[in-house]
Structure 1
Amino acid sequence: MGKKRKRPAKEDAELRSPLQKRAKAPPNGPGKEGKKVGEATRTPGDHPVLSRYYSRVVTLRQYILDRLQSCSRSKRKRIALFGKKPNMEASASTARIVLDSTVGREPQLNGKNVQSIAGLLDSTLVGVVHDASQGIQERRQREFATFAHQSQNRSSPANSDAASLQGEIVDFVISNLFNRNFSSYRKPQHILVHGFQRAAPSLFAPQECGALPITIPGVAMQYPNQNVTALKSAPWTDVLALLGQSGGDIMISLLLDCGIFSCLDRVKRIYYQISGVPLSELEIVDTVQSQLHTEPSRVTRYLATGGGGKESILPRSATGRDDKAVLHKPNSIIFVRRRMLYARPALNAKSAVRFGLRHIHVLNRFPYSTPRDLSHTVHVMKYIFPRQFGLHNVFTSEIDRRETVQPFKDYTLREEEIASVERQRRSRLPSLQIGAGESKESFKIPKRLRGKVVELVQKLQRSNKCCSYSELLRYYCPIEETKPPAFSVLAQEGLVDSENGTKPFALKQKSCLTDHSTPASSVSAFCRAVLQRLVPDEFYGVGDDGKSNRRVVLKNVDRFVRMSRFESLSLHEVCKGLKVTCVSWLDHPNSQTGVSDHASHKLSLPDLRKRTEILNEFIYYIFDSLLIPLIRSNFYVTESQVHRNRLFFFRHDVWRRLTEQPLANIKSSMFEEMKRERAHRILSGRSLGYGSMRLLPKAVGARPIINLRRRMVGKKTAILGPSINSMMTPVFNMLSCERAKNPELLGSSIFSIGDMYPRLKSFKERLFRQQGCRKDDQSHNRRLFFVKLDIRSCFDTIPQHKLVALIKKLVSEDAYHVTKHVEIRPPESCSSSKWQDEHPRQGKPVRKFVSKAVSAERVVSLPELVANGAANRRRNTIFVDTAMQKDHAVEDLLELLEEHVRNNLVKIGKKYYRQRNGIPQGSVLSSLLCSFFYGRLEREVLGFLDCDDTILLRLIDDFLLITLKADIAMRFLQVMMDGQPEYGISVNPSKSLVNFEATVNGIKIPRLLDSVLFPYCGNLIDTHSLELHKDRGYVGEYSAFDVSDTLTVESSRNPGRAFHRKTLAFFRLQTYAMFLDTSHNAPGAVLSGIYASFVETAIKMYRYLKALPTRARPSTGLVVKTISDLINSATTLIQSKRPKSVAPQPKPDSLPFQCAVKRQQVQYLAASAFYHVLQRKQARFVPVLDWLDHIRRASRPTTDGQAVQMRRIIKAGNAIFDELRY
């Protein structure tokens, strides 16, 4: 009897969820075998992307079984075993029985259909956020019955088969989605409503010829939705038939409450969303759960209500409703340091720089008046404590993304908001009387801000009025300190240092603009001095604890100033260590008695939270509304082309003088000034806005940077409009479509360094075939001639009218269909380390919005794009379609292109300029337009280069010719050096290079000497064997600046995890297939490149570790784990690299990739590299060095020849970095 009782349990095991079956971990380590076992035992819920957005991820079969818990065991068993190999023959009869009892019609099922249904059940994933309640399900049943009855009345004879029932269910879901969204002018966020809209009254008129039919009451179709069509057809109709009588309820819940993902590639686990709220609109599960003091998110509420309520999933700012509290904790509030970059100076009446806080700052607009007049003081308090006054703030208010692109709003001006709140208050109190002489603004002060706070704010106002910003700036940031002895191309001319235009000074000559910058230490000292004079000490507290609080804040001010470009500081980090009890002005007004024994004073939890809340507001005001405006109004802050992430601070008067002549040269050579009235007339008559220009310091001089990605404020509203580049995206998609169809129009263009590899490899194979050499020779007998040319001001010299005419000729369609989709994938660190196994819910998925254009006559769906290879096919990627689909007439696109090229407006200061020649720099179209235009040059002028023993490469304007014939090389030099006025081409001889003696037009071309490695775009090409190496000549430049200038240190959230992730990224960013292919490069060259990459990674890892605060530095165990994961990741990465196909070159099938590097070699090189770098600091890394030595000994070469080779590689690699200080 006991054994018989166990049989049902055995059958239940087939019905159990895969999540309940725990697979035993393989006993072996992270090798290949262990990885395969892990892949085999992986469950659907382990998908690294879907598991971040859904609380439960199961297969479609398991979802159905979970919903059939109340059904009979036999029914659940039939579905669980449907399509299984031992039961394949019985599956068709099972489906007939179920369908016969449901709709009364037997389907024609065969083995192929059964496999299709079973494949759908097992490959489709279902993401569940919340299950609908019983009441919601019952209401849906009643609504669906009514909808089905109305549908039958509208249609001709009623059909009762599964296909018609499935069609009614899908139509009901679409109708329900529109009905439950109260807003009449916004679409609900759901995949199934793409292509549908609310039907206007005019659409209910008799259908015109060619119009799309209206099958859903109140809903009209704009264009066919492929997902709706798929759900209404087989095998989904067969799945509904398989479910029996409860199939309708399950299918409705599946479409309304879940996300459905169809499998596109089982091996790579690539999925495509066919139903549900778009994955790109959902919040991460951890983020939703971590918001303890907030209401559920809008999408979460939308799903939880099941459409029962009228809840909108649109941003509240778009719905017109009042904002509800959304608490942002201090660790999620990041100071927006980007606001202090590229600021313009404030000028006085004499056009001299005015130092100090700008005139629009609230402390200058509302200065201290009299002790009795509190109007200005209360107004300033509303800026300091907006949360207490019920105004918009960073703690409880949502950010309207239509108003700002930054994480938080800029609160420099909030007069409109204050006036609006006051009007609302008065409208609620119509009987409120305003006495004579009283201001219309309310003076009501929150209870916790009465008493001492008012006095301290008045003291703050008086301090601002008495503070001499100019004198402090002159003392802490004198111009003399910014001038180390050097030489310069800048003229020695006077500058104005004060507001009054007195005290002229002269700049010493220096070689680089950055030599005139003010050191960050001086800027920090100036800011701290101003804050100490501006902010009363009582704001920080009394006694020793108050002094400690002030030191903590000023220390973080220094840290804020010294941070690199992309580093961030959170409010939590600043407030860490602050003592609340010593801040007497936070006491309740009834208990404020001056200095008290705060150390022994015990606070209730609500009182402590309220004090912390107010103190956090004040600290945020210091950094956001005092420190950042102070830096903006006194310094021009920018990065440089040489130092990358390091920020430089220039006094505004110094920067104005330094850039006066370069700006004048740029204006005269590139632009023509346009009158303001004409510029406004042009801008008002077109959708395109204008660009803004800034100067980026270089090693010598400055480079103009034109920003076309900036979203411009609307003409009549404060809502941000689209940027110029976003408006030009359809044109870019059109040109990309033509590029894919006719790649020969681009000539020899390459769009990345990686594109150079397959072309060089194909050229080398061709040379070997011609000369009959073996591939393993890695060289040939004949000499190769190299010519590298650089075009002067490429983008600024292209004739505009000829470029526009060329583009008009190459377009081949009358209209283009443009779509946009989202690609969501896990972060790089998740797939390249073992960290994810320990913390599976860490790391935010990466979203990428991609738009494509195809012929309007041949529209292709997103799954077809993925299948054809036109979209990215990276592992674990989720594809989500969007509702953005539009047909563009080619005439409209060409007109937009011509307006963009021929009327490119740029605003410099307060004046408008039009680019007189060339194409807009910074435009999304620039590279593609240049490639098409120079492709025509190659066809018409450089046709003599089209031969088997010659190859031409061109990255934008950098030409590289490799040929076996000296006469072709000289002819190419002669043609290009003569210039091509028709194409605006003029060669810069100083930036050109050849590997042979050449003189053209009396100009001797620079020649490569004492080396066989020819530099080209950051790479080195062997002039004998065409081997590829990474050009590490920049290592010598590291001696001129700190390696840490290239790093971005994260110390706020999970610093150990960031250290681990970035260390792996340091190596990954240096790993390209072209450096690892041993069929193209010699094995020794490949190993040398790998070792150099490991050494550079080790140096950056050490510098990153040293830049971390002491409390955030990783432990020895984490350092060892990071290096170990790096070795495993490097081995996997090196073996997985494959070349990408680049048209019109042959596909990689004809050029096989080979990498004869073994794991043991990678391990030995990595351990040797890290040992060499860390042994300089051996006192700090004794355990790590012992572990590295053990790894190095365990993986050392086994033969003398390999040992000699490794010693040579390590010695040569160390010599590259030995002169580098780190």
Structure 2
Amino acid sequence: MARRRRRRGSSGSGPPELRLAYGARARTLGRAVLSLLPPPPPPGAPCPACRGGGRSAGCLACRRWAHLLRDGDPVAYRGLVTRAVCALAPAGAAPPPPRYTPGNAGHSQAKSKINNSDFIVQDVLLKDLGATVNDEVHPMELTVDKKSLTMSSDVNNSLTKEPYGVLCYEKPPSSVFDIRPSQGHSTSRIQSTCRQVGLPNFLHLNSGPICFDCLMLNSSKNVKVDSLVSRHAVFYNRRTSYNIFHGNHILNKRKRPDALSLIRHIFGIKGCCAKFMRCDCSGSTTTNSNCLHLWLPKLMNKLIRNSKRCQYKKLVLKHCSVNSKIGAKLAKNDSKAQYPFGGKPACNNKSYVQLEAYSTHQQVVSFVWAVLTQIIPEPLLGNSYSKRSLRINIWKFIKLRRFETFHLSDCIGELKVSQYSWISSIGLSDCFCSALMEKEIGLSNGSEEQKRQNLLHCWISWIFSDIVIPLVQAYFYVTERESRRYDAFYYLKTVWRDLTSIAVASLIRQNFKILRGTSRKAIRQSCFTSRVRFVPKARDMRPLVNLKAQSKDGLLNKCHLIIKKVRDENPEMFGSSVFDYNNVHKNLCDFLSSVRSYLKEKAKIYVVVADVSKAFDCISHDMVLKVVDDVLKYDNYVLRKCTKVVCNRSKNAIYRFDSNVSISKGNDICDFSVQLSSSGGILVDQGKISSIQKKAIQRLISEQVKCNIFKIGQNFYSQQVGIAQGSKLSPNLCSLYYGHLENSVLLKFLRDGKIDSDDDVSAPKSLLMRFIDDFIFISFSKEHALNFFNRMRRGFVYYNCYMNDSKYGFNFEVANSEHCCNRIYRGDDGFSFIPWSGLLINCETLEIQADYTRYLDILISSTITVKMHSSVKYLQSKLCHYMRPKCHPIFYDSMINSPGTVRLNIYQAFLLCAMKFHCYIRSMADGSISKLELLYIIKKTFRYMHSLIIRRIQDVELQYNVHPVLKLKRKETMWLGLSAYLRVLQKKQSRYRDLLALLREEIGRYGHLDYDSDGLRYAVDDLHSSMFWKFKF
């Protein structure tokens, strides 16, 4: 006959008989002993029991648990002290135990009463404890009434053998953070009176149970304040889900998680520490109302319940509704809006309204905070000060720019443990679990204050990573805009879906074809597949293709190097293309040297600027492939890899990086050339030689141009016209395509349209340059310039090329040009400039200045990224990085610019750097950098710029055979930099009063340089930098 299964014991912890009989007086033996002792002496006072005359280790009265449990104690003794359970009766006799009946005993063995007398274990305990702790203990009476215990016969037998055998041992738990009813046993081990939480048996510890508070404090995961909060999941997420939290999120599980599972997830309780766990650690006879186990699981259950019931959609519509004016237009024009994308610009107000329908940072913060207050119970959010601080920290997180980082210390901010009563109320003064865990497992998180601080770190980290970020990810499409490079814009996904659907519809009408059925599958197997995302512009959207994940990217890189080499050797095939400021500098110097006589006579200069509309989207596939075939003249190309070794002076370390790959035409003897540079270094041949056939190059470029598949949402599209932006090949292919247009059509037109027989386009009376798709034509003949302008306006049908009417620039009168936008800039000084590819070209002298007009309509802070906790060295590197783009020799060459313009370029570069400096300092979390350190950084920036200008001038001389002239002294650079910082920071005097005093003292050491230099006086005149005083910083 099968053995009858015993009934499971009642849920809870410990023998129910002791709990029913004695209530809170039933406790472990060790805690019972310590409860009879007098209070410990205050710190520094002698112990009244040992008076400092005992052993150096102290006594039980002053050291308590540390004296009761020591290293090397036997296992049996530890089990007796920490796991045995007894009832303590004050002053003599215990109250008579209640009589149990079969109805109220809760156990089948309650029918048989054990009529034994009370067993006094005082002498045996004193003998055992005295041998262990070597101290005298005042007489105590530990009484266990056997009438209240329903034990099996083997327990009765054990009572006759060992006096302390009646003291109860608890059963080890079995599952992680899972409260289950314990199973009854017929052995001598009786369940503990403490409530247990089961955990896996990771380590076989011989110590006793661990209370809930101690487990939370000692075994929670250690979160570092400098750990990063990941933001990458927030950007460019187009997925729309009915669930706010992702599938693996603990609040999104089908089976509702219990409170303890959520606690384990938030605080990362270590399994090895949580093998045993009980809930109360108070040494008093009353229940401790501050113990976490009494109310923290209830609050967590409430949090889980609230997360299921929260009305997220109503909250997002309430807090992130579109502005009233924009919302009315969106509601009226939602189904009728036509989006101008591709081809000729046809911008309308409807699409423009939708582009401006993003949610502000304050609206996003308001929505997130509303959700937090809805789902998180109020006690867990702390007091009013912590709520205010937490909302400020969320606002800092939401307003972060692209590529900026956010650390846990930024999430914490001004939050303190004292503001959270559920953390600050935890006390360990009377508990031995901390010392026990440290002895047995070796885990300790420091002082009690540090442990509480770690709990706060875990809690705040979970709020940001598991609630704030999923909320933003679920309801907003976060992206940057082309006009404001680094600012993050939050579009509701419903709004973004409308924008992208209109843009995709326009692409389908222009040059895209949706793939369906078998054609889609066939092309997907044989062609590239790339993802497309859209970036909002001022009045339309630009598609960007991610081609980095293509499997053939290595071969495409070789093709790019070959095309680049062909470009350097045969620049005439690319027409008037320039690829950087070095090419512009060389062409401009050659032109100015040949027309010096015209400039001396102050002849009228005519300048025309034109921009191709959708330059990449209107390229014909067959035409560009034909042009590539004409350029590749050899059947085989050989590539050889070199490495340049340079020395970094600041760190005195050697750095290696790959140089340009040299290319041979397939000869047996390879003539490899290297690029010259003024910086020191050693070229090392890597011995890696590879070759590629012309047919392979043609096949790869053909696949790149014709066989691209773009994934937008869930659909796949093929591009019928145009090439994708985002590949290394795209700029060179575009330049090659329009270079063929110039050689075939434009130059022929200029020759045929010459003014007289002596006029020739090859003569140095005109200059044509093109940076990819931006044309500039300079001539001393108005008729010549007007003919060029009219020809560009007509477009080039054979090449599907048309100009953008909103991006023309010309400095003379043109008939019937009302619909053409003339982008000419006039400053307060009366000079006229035409912007072209980041340069401002003086229409009267052809002097070159940097184009800062793009900063007029944006905030300076949107052009920088800030590291919240920046060191002095990092801030210095940032300021030097801001100066690098403005250190090109074209701005400081005295062969092009006058002394006043050279110094004005330096002064304006420092003006912008000072504005970015202010924005950076203001955005930093702390102002720990002293004013003297800031002055040192600023002066270091001046010296860096002057040295970089000299070094780049030397590089231009070596690489491009240009001989620029630099007539600039270092002290002039320092004086101009100090003047620029003083001019900018004077607008923010309240913040920089001490720094301004240091700057004035520093500039005073240079004297009045401007008195003796007309160029310096010209540079610091506000009329010549009038646009800077319109910047918002």
Q: TM-score range by the shorter chain?
A: 0.5 to 0.7
> How far off is 1:1137 after superposition?
3.2
Over 3 Å counting, the alpha-carbon distance change for 1:548 and 1:848 in structure 2 is farther
Aligned partners of 2:900 and 2:1019 also within 8 Å: no
Give secondary structure in 1 for the equivalent of 2:886: coil
> How far off is 1:384 after superposition?
5.0
* Residue in structure 2 matched with residue 1115 of structure 1 by the alignment: 930
* Residue in structure 1 matched with residue 802 of structure 2 by the alignment: 986
* Residue in structure 2 matched with residue 197 of structure 1 by the alignment: none
Give secondary structure in 2 for the equivalent of 1:798: coil
Q: Does 2:1022 correspond to 1:1202?
A: no
* Residue in structure 2 matched with residue 1023 of structure 1 by the alignment: 843
CA RMSD of aligned residues (A): 4.1
* Residue in structure 1 matched with residue 898 of structure 2 by the alignment: 1082
Give secondary structure in 2 for the equivalent of 1:854: strand
Q: Does 2:935 correspond to 1:1131?
A: no
Q: 2:860 aligns with which of 1028, 1039, 1043?
A: 1043
Q: What are structure 1's unaligned runs of at least 5 residues?
A: 1-326, 348-353, 391-443, 496-506, 587-593, 712-721
Q: 1:650 aligns with which of 488, 491, 498?
A: 491
Over 3 Å counting, the alpha-carbon distance change for 1:613 and 1:595 in structure 2 is closer
Give secondary structure in 1 for the equivalent of 2:244: coil
* Residue in structure 2 matched with residue 898 of structure 1 by the alignment: 702
Give secondary structure in 2 for the equivalent of 1:870: coil
Aligned partners of 1:565 and 1:647 also within 8 Å: yes
> How far off is 1:463 after superposition?
2.7
> How far off is 1:807 after superposition?
1.0
Aligned partners of 2:385 and 2:419 also within 8 Å: no
* Residue in structure 2 matched with residue 1101 of structure 1 by the alignment: 917
- Distance in 2, matches of 1:741 and 1:805, equals 19
Aligned partners of 1:1015 and 1:1031 also within 8 Å: yes
Q: 1:947 aligns with which of 751, 763, 772?
A: 763
* Residue in structure 2 matched with residue 693 of structure 1 by the alignment: 532
Q: 2:232 aligns with which of 338, 341, 345?
A: 338
Which structure: larger Rg? 2
Over 3 Å counting, the alpha-carbon distance change for 1:387 and 1:1157 in structure 2 is farther
Over 3 Å counting, the alpha-carbon distance change for 1:367 and 1:881 in structure 2 is farther
One-letter code of the match for 2:320? C
- Distance in 1, matches of 2:352 and 2:593, equals 47
1:427-466 equivalences in 2 (<5 Å) = 458-466=301-309
* Residue in structure 2 matched with residue 854 of structure 1 by the alignment: 663
Give secondary structure in 2 for the equivalent of 1:959: strand
Aligned partners of 1:758 and 1:1139 also within 8 Å: no
* Residue in structure 2 matched with residue 889 of structure 1 by the alignment: 693
Give secondary structure in 2 for the equivalent of 1:695: strand
- Distance in 2, matches of 1:858 and 1:583, equals 77
One-letter code of the match for 1:1025? T
- Distance in 1, matches of 2:386 and 2:368, equals 17
Over 3 Å counting, the alpha-carbon distance change for 1:754 and 1:910 in structure 2 is same
One-letter code of the match for 1:1120? L
Alignment length (residue pairs): 761
Aligned partners of 1:1196 and 1:1203 also within 8 Å: no
Q: 2:399 aligns with which of 553, 558, 562?
A: 562
Over 3 Å counting, the alpha-carbon distance change for 1:754 and 1:344 in structure 2 is same
- Distance in 2, matches of 1:328 and 1:890, equals 59
> How far off is 1:1155 after superposition?
1.3
* Residue in structure 2 matched with residue 189 of structure 1 by the alignment: none
Q: Does 2:993 correspond to 1:1182?
A: yes
> How far off is 1:1073 after superposition?
0.8
- Distance in 2, matches of 1:1084 and 1:958, equals 29
Give secondary structure in 1 for the equivalent of 2:894: coil
Aligned partners of 2:807 and 2:821 also within 8 Å: no
One-letter code of the match for 1:911? N
Over 3 Å counting, the alpha-carbon distance change for 1:1015 and 1:1025 in structure 2 is same
Aligned partners of 1:1094 and 1:1170 also within 8 Å: yes
Give secondary structure in 2 for the equivalent of 1:817: strand
1:16-165 equivalences in 2 (<5 Å) = none
Give secondary structure in 1 for the equivalent of 2:736: helix
Aligned partners of 1:537 and 1:550 also within 8 Å: no
One-letter code of the match for 2:400? M
Using structure 1 for the length normalisation, give the TM-score: 0.56
Q: 1:745 aligns with which of 559, 566, 573?
A: 573
Aligned partners of 1:341 and 1:637 also within 8 Å: yes
> How far off is 1:727 after superposition?
5.2
Over 3 Å counting, the alpha-carbon distance change for 1:859 and 1:1193 in structure 2 is farther
- Distance in 1, matches of 2:1000 and 2:901, equals 25
1:294-443 equivalences in 2 (<5 Å) = 330=224, 333-346=227-240, 354=242, 356-358=244-246, 361-368=249-256, 378=261, 388=270
Over 3 Å counting, the alpha-carbon distance change for 1:1199 and 1:662 in structure 2 is closer
Q: Does 2:870 correspond to 1:870?
A: no
- Distance in 1, matches of 2:678 and 2:231, equals 34
Q: 1:728 aligns with which of 546, 550, 556?
A: 556
Over 3 Å counting, the alpha-carbon distance change for 1:959 and 1:856 in structure 2 is closer
Q: 2:445 aligns with which of 604, 608, 619?
A: 608
Over 3 Å counting, the alpha-carbon distance change for 1:1215 and 1:967 in structure 2 is closer
- Distance in 1, matches of 2:248 and 2:349, equals 34
Which one is further off, 458-467 or 901-910? Answer: 458-467
- Distance in 1, matches of 2:820 and 2:351, equals 30
Using structure 2 for the length normalisation, give the TM-score: 0.66
- Distance in 2, matches of 1:882 and 1:461, equals 60
One-letter code of the match for 1:956? I
> How far off is 1:484 after superposition?
5.7
- Distance in 2, matches of 1:613 and 1:874, equals 53
Q: 1:1156 aligns with which of 956, 963, 967?
A: 967
One-letter code of the match for 1:1116? K
> How far off is 1:630 after superposition?
1.4
1:752-1151 equivalences in 2 (<5 Å) = 752-768=580-596, 771=597, 779-818=600-639, 836=650, 840=651, 852=661, 854-855=663-664, 857=666, 868-870=673-675, 873=677, 875=679, 886-941=690-745, 942-943=747-748, 944=751, 945-999=761-815, 1006=822, 1008=824, 1011-1038=831-858, 1042-1052=859-869, 1054-1109=870-925, 1111-1138=926-953, 1148-1149=960-961, 1151=962
Aligned partners of 2:361 and 2:398 also within 8 Å: yes
Aligned partners of 2:227 and 2:408 also within 8 Å: yes
Percent identity between matched residues is: 24
- Distance in 2, matches of 1:891 and 1:1020, equals 44
> How far off is 1:368 after superposition?
1.3
1:484-499 equivalences in 2 (<5 Å) = 492-493=333-334
> How far off is 1:330 after superposition?
3.2
- Distance in 2, matches of 1:755 and 1:1124, equals 32
Aligned partners of 1:641 and 1:699 also within 8 Å: yes
Give secondary structure in 2 for the equivalent of 1:1092: helix
Q: What's the CA shift string for 1:55-97, capped at 9, x where partnerless?
A: xxxxxxxxxxxxxxxxxxxxxxxxxxxxxxxxxxxxxxxxxxx
Over 3 Å counting, the alpha-carbon distance change for 1:636 and 1:1121 in structure 2 is same
> How far off is 1:995 after superposition?
2.2
> How far off is 1:1005 after superposition?
8.1
Over 3 Å counting, the alpha-carbon distance change for 1:613 and 1:695 in structure 2 is same
> How far off is 1:1115 after superposition?
1.6
- Distance in 2, matches of 1:681 and 1:578, equals 58
- Distance in 1, matches of 2:727 and 2:426, equals 63
> How far off is 1:876 after superposition?
6.3
- Distance in 2, matches of 1:860 and 1:535, equals 74
